[in-house]
Amino acid sequence: MAHRTWLGALTGAALGAVAARAAYAAFTRRPPIGDEKTWTRTNHRGEPLTLLEGPAFVAGAGAAAALAPGLPVRARAAALLATAGSGALGAYDDLRGATSSKGFKGHLAALARGEVTSGAVKILGIGAAGLAAAALLPSRPGEKGGPLARAAGTLADGALIAGAANLANLFDLRPGRAIKVGLLTGGPLLAVSLAKARAGGPGTAAAALAAAPLGAGLALLPEDLGERAMLGDAGANALGALLGVAAVASLDRRSRLAVLGTVAALTAASEKVSFTKVIAGNPVLNRLDMLGRRPA
C-alpha cells in the first residue's frame, strides 16, 4: 500500500509538472482564446505580464488528476470537476471581470442590488462545483451517520473546496505568493496521506490528489517569480479547489471542519485587512514571500 501511494504521488507530481510546462509553451504560442493581448495585464510594478500561466496550471493539474494511478473513479471525477470548473470560472472573471465591485462582500452586495457581476457568477459557480465535487468523493471509512448527517457533511466539504478556491486567489497579489501558499498547505496534506498509507489506512487517492497541484505549481513557479506570468483567477482558483479536494479526501471530519473554519476566518479577515501589509510586517513571512523574487 505505501509503495503504491508513493508511486501514485510521484507520478501525479511529475505528470502535473510536465503537462503544465507543455501547456504553457503551447498557450504562449497560441492562446486558447483570443490573442496574446487578450491575456496581457499590468502587474504591481506597472510592467506587462501574461495570465496564460493560469490555463497552463489548469491543464497540468487536470492532466495529472486524469492520469495519475491509484485514484478511484469518483475521486478522479471530483478532482477534474473542481479543477476544470474553478479554472473555467476564474478564466471568465479574468477576461470579462470589472473592478467596480471587489471582494466576496462587494460582489454579493452588487448581486443584492440586482447587479450580476462576473465575480458573483464565479462565486456561485465555484460554490456549485465545490458541492458537486464533494458529493462525488467516496465516503471516508469510519465516518458514520444518517442521511441528514451525510448531507451536512457534504455541504461542509463543498464549502471547504469552494472556500479554498477563493482563498488561494486572495494570495495571488505578488509574484509566486499563491503557489508558495499552495506548497505550504499541500505539503502537509501530502505528508498526512503518505503517513496514513504507511499505517495501512486509505491514503493513496489523497496523496495523488495533493501531489498533482504541487507538481504543476512548482513547474510554473519560475515564470511567476520572474514576473513574466501570473496564475490569475483561473490558476489560483483551480489551485485552491484541488487542494480543497485533497483535504476532503485526506482528513477526518473534525479536521476538515477545523480547516473550513480557518478558511472562513481568513476570507472574512481579507475584507478588513490587507494580507500584503500583514506579510510585509512579519519578518518570517516577508522573507518567505520575497524568496526568489526581485527586490520590491
What's residue 113's pLDDT?
63
pLDDT at 275 over 60: yes
What's residue 294's pLDDT?
87
What's residue 201's pLDDT?
58
Q: Label residue 284 by pLDDT band (50, 70, 90).
A: very high
Helices (H), the chain: 2-29, 53-67, 73-96, 103-112, 118-136, 147-170, 177-198, 204-225, 232-250, 253-270, 275-280, 283-290
pLDDT in tens, 59-68: 999 999 999 8
pLDDT in tens, 145-188: 777 878 889 999 999 999 999 999 999 999 999 999 999 999 99
| Domain locations in the chain as residue ranges | 2-290
Q: Label residue 50 by pLDDT band (50, 70, 90).
A: very high
Q: How much is the pTM?
A: 0.91
DSSP labels, 214-230: HHHHHHHHHHHHTTSB-
